[in-house]
Amino acid sequence: MPESTLPEDARATHKVALITLGCARNDVDSEELAGRLAADGFELVDEAEDAEIAVVNTCGFVDAAKKDSIDTLLAASDLKGQGRTKAVVAVGCLAERYGKQLADELPEADAVLGFDSYQDIGDRLRTILGGGHVEAHTPSDRRLLLPLTPVERQAGGSSVPGHGHGRDAAPKISDLPDGLAPASGPRTLRRRLGDGPSAPLKLASGCDRRCSFCAIPSFRGAFLSRRPSDILAEARWLAEQGVREVVLVSENSTSYGKDLGDLRLLETLLPELSAIDGLDWIRVSYLQPAELRPSLVTALATTPKVVPYFDLSFQHSAPGVLRRMRRFGDTDRFLELLASIRELVPQAGARSNFIVGFPGETDEDYAELERFLTEARLDAIGVFGYSDEDGTEAAGFADKLDQDLIDERAAALADLAEDLVAQRAAERIGEKVRVLVEEVSEDYAEGRAAHQGPEVDGSVRLTGALAGIRVGDLVDAVVLDSEGVDLVAEPVAAQAAELG
């Protein structure tokens, strides 16, 4: 980490709170920031009102996420002058995407910092707390920061959160305070901000796909894999911290390894992760159906410790809509993919998100999407009404649908999805599931089964004899009932005791 240019007396310990919005990738980025700040002498606190400076890691994905980010920045700003809080700083995707525009429109934020600021985040925050000015980030198309040819990207000097690329080198492992670890070899730091049994682990960043509705590649950059040795080192550290499940996250996990010269690298990485002592579950998120080759399906379905969980980015199923989205596939191909997965693992979990009301979507297209959802038997379904995203190809399409029609279709599909996932959950009554316990009270324990991803896919409530069950335990149970997408189950040991 570069030496500070501030005088020694300006490097007093300051309290900082990190507020994280958005996806699991942002969670990893916040823990990198936490690691850098802790190594630089900052004291991390949980609540903004207890901090001198609040750092909000924003989301810039869709309008609702942008609004949530701005509301959070405003709420944190309201604390200034009421107690300890002196400053509020925006980082993350919204800050990276809009930079100076966000700073101009939101003067309540004391600074708007992009990804390139993460490497010297401590000095930036000290400058702000000292009354100095830090120039707002100037956005650019981050796809242009790495070579066009994937195999040349590993030598690039671009700063990528969670990868350790860029100008600086973090302290050596032996120099780190307790609780810190290298997130990418000896160069990037990470400090856990929670103590749950599950943690995200960054597999790659960026995306090379050119979906016409998506702006993410422009501010997250071109696709860049982390090296297997870095991923394995971080996974071992997480296991030492008590993590039992790692969730591999990226913008497109199915592309992993293509810039390292081996598109099948994920198939070889998974068994190496499985061999790590202390890890019991390995979950892979963000799979592109068009890139989900049979060998990867087999690896995901059969590798020990890899839970049979398929987070598939379908987005739609009508072929005409998918082509306008610059995507591939159709209803029947997607159903065949799901059938091939269930042939290997009948109890496999599958989830996806869908965009309704895309420009040019006809009544027939919408009916085709309903047909797919009805036949797909997905465990979790997210529904989004289409909205224009700045800088995307679809924003310039002429055949836009009326907002009232978009809202009507989105509401109807969400209602259908709610019924369908409830039906799918009810199908699991009588199944034996393994549950990772995440919460324990006097009356019940709650966690997730293998087919349920963190936070978004429902949960399992354990009832019956719960003595001795602790957070982080893996408990075999039989599903007794379902409540919407959630399940109610009884530990197998309790059932055996009753039979005895």
Question: Which residues fall in the annotated binding site for [4Fe-4S] cluster?
Answer: 23, 59, 93, 207, 211, 214
Q: Which residues pair with 205 in a beta bridge?
A: 224
Read off the tokens for 318. 């009508």
Read off the tokens for 286. 């963000």
Helix axes 363-376 and 331-344, enclosed angle (nearest 10): 10
Element (H, E) at 213: none
Per-residue CA distances from 150 to 109, 156, 215, 310 (Å): 37, 10, 20, 26
Q: Which residues pair with 491 in a beta bridge?
A: 477
Q: How far apart are CA 336 and CA 342, in angstroms?
A: 10
Read off the tokens for 17. 């709170």
Q: How far apart are CA 284 and CA 248, in angstroms?
A: 5
Binding residues are: 23, 59, 93, 207, 211, 214
**For 361, phi and psi rounded to 5 degrees?**
-65, 120
Q: How far apart are CA 156 and CA 344, in angstroms?
A: 40
Q: How far apart are CA 213 and CA 217, in angstroms?
A: 11
In contact, 289 and 322? CB cutoff 8 Å: no
The stretches of 225-315 forming alpha helices (DSSP H) are 228-240, 265-274, 294-302
The stretches of 314-354 forming alpha helices (DSSP H) are 319-324, 331-344
Per-residue CA distances from 315 to 50, 264, 272 (Å): 41, 25, 32
Terminal CA-CA length for the chain: 62
